[in-house]
A and B are shown apart, each in its own frame.
Chain A
Amino acid sequence: MVQWGAVDTFESMNQDKDRVNSFQNMIFDLQKFWADYGCVIMQPYDTEVGAGTSHFATTLKAIGDEFWNAAFVQPCRRPQDGRYAENPNRTQYYYQYQVILKPAPVDPQELYLDSLRSIGFNLSTHDIRFVEDDWENPSLGAAGVGWEIWCDGTEITQFTYFQQVGGIGCSVVPVEITYGLERIATFMQKVESHFDINWNGREDDKKLTYGDVLKRFEKEFSAYNFDVASIDMLLEHFNDYEGECQRLLAHNLIMPAYEQCVKANHCFNLLDARGVVSVTEKAWYISRVRAMAKNCCQAWLDGQESR
């Protein structure tokens, strides 16, 4: 199980490297690690999602028995979590690093720890723990078991063995590893706030922090999400996306249909942040998104079986 000597290799590698501790380097290193492992390095899904799980490279690819290894950065939008850039570590927009390994290889935990070592994370000075946290996304009919990985009391990664997607048991069990990039960076750079993360690794007047790059975005989007977004437009869009999803499924265009579902979900999240969705309505919207997602997953599975 243990890759003999792997620990030493990575730690010495990092010492040799004249590394610059920056947000962007951390991402480069992760990309390199997972590319070397054999993942296809993809790019973010170019529509608003709440988590890397919603990328079709996770959801749809997790269905069926086709093998699939992929990794990518995914910007995530959670309108409710906006704090007008006033909270040091809560934002409505943040980055996940998403890895999907299907099937889960032997000992993915050690592989994950190696990936941390590869980005220069000194494991011996941190308390890393695997704390039970099962994951469930009823709207995708998805469920899995796993852990949240704690570093010194902070959750830095979600680690999940999918057991079911689209209401169907996985015949080849994938593991999904979702890194919280800002949180890991705050540990590596020993800063207190996400906004203080050194983004480009410069220490001179060309230095750019996370705040320099994204603070204004965060402020303006908090205002948009909570105070200004057009409710009528969002309501209309939700209905449009829902209709389009059905129509596309009828044409057996599953990936475009799935995209409508993702978009509808974001509209719903915005409406929720605007505070116009009562609890009863909330359940209704969620059930509509769930129905869309389920239909897409089912159609995808049917397509795979007939192939």
Chain B
Amino acid sequence: MSFSITEPSNRQKWIAGVLVIAYALITLMPLAWIIATGFKTPADAIAYPPKVIFEPSLEGYVNLFTSRSRVTPEDLAALPPPETFYDQIVRQYDMVITGPSKYGERFVNSIIIGFGSTFLSVFLGTIAAYAFSRFKVPLKDDLLFFILSTRMMPPIAVAIPIFLMYRQLGLSDTHLGMILLYTAVNLSLSVWLLKGFIDEIPIEYEEAALIDGYTRFQAFYKVVLPQAATGIASTAIFCLIFAWNEYAFAVLLTSGTAQTAPPFIPTIIGAGGKDWPAVAAGATLFLLPIMVFTILLRKHLLRGITFGAVRK
């Protein structure tokens, strides 16, 4: 059998295609299952054998966004007829809606903290990476190693000191505290990734801008930044994915005002039986922002991951 590096044979293309599709199916399976479960009734969600075809219901989403309480059948009968579809769904179970759930707030917290820390990580990372790439920084290599070394232990290893420190500083359960924490964790990744990208931008572009009458800051802003857009976008995705999905610190450091969605979603389970559709609905909605963000930046992401592997 002969191999060619440049042109795969039809047979090889076929095998590759089958493998890729099989892999995609395997990885997408849980995702599809979660999305489907979100639209099932609680009974369908735990049916055995599992139901692949089912009658869709918005019950999970209604339960996700509302707080409900049980009422006696007499009280229920005394109420005026349900006005909306969600009232109707809830009353089938002898319950009434008492108010919105905390999911909306937690989701907004996730957005504020996720995007806030991503912005800060990328902003500080770009400036630091530019300095490391272009200027003579004393002890440059040691500093870069030090920055990288903060990633050598799992962040959660320092959970207790951080917990105590945050309590002392009044940063526990605050948006600012979580943004700072995720920024601190992401910064080493962002400095290293972005330094790689900026190193690849020939210095002549900036020199040309300096000659053309621009200041160094203008040269950075007008010439380097557009060139580094790919790197910045892919770094932003990595930072956002970490901050968005982070669970351990969020459980430890937030409980109310600044609680993000990941520690909140599991708490949905507890309220009166295992409400899997509501959990699945929460998880589905939680996936959306990062999916949209990644799809918007996917061209950059792909180039970002393979960047530096091949010299242009």
| Same complex | no
Enumerate chain B interface residues (CB-CB to A < 8 A).
none
Enumerate chain A interface residues (CB-CB to B < 8 A).
none
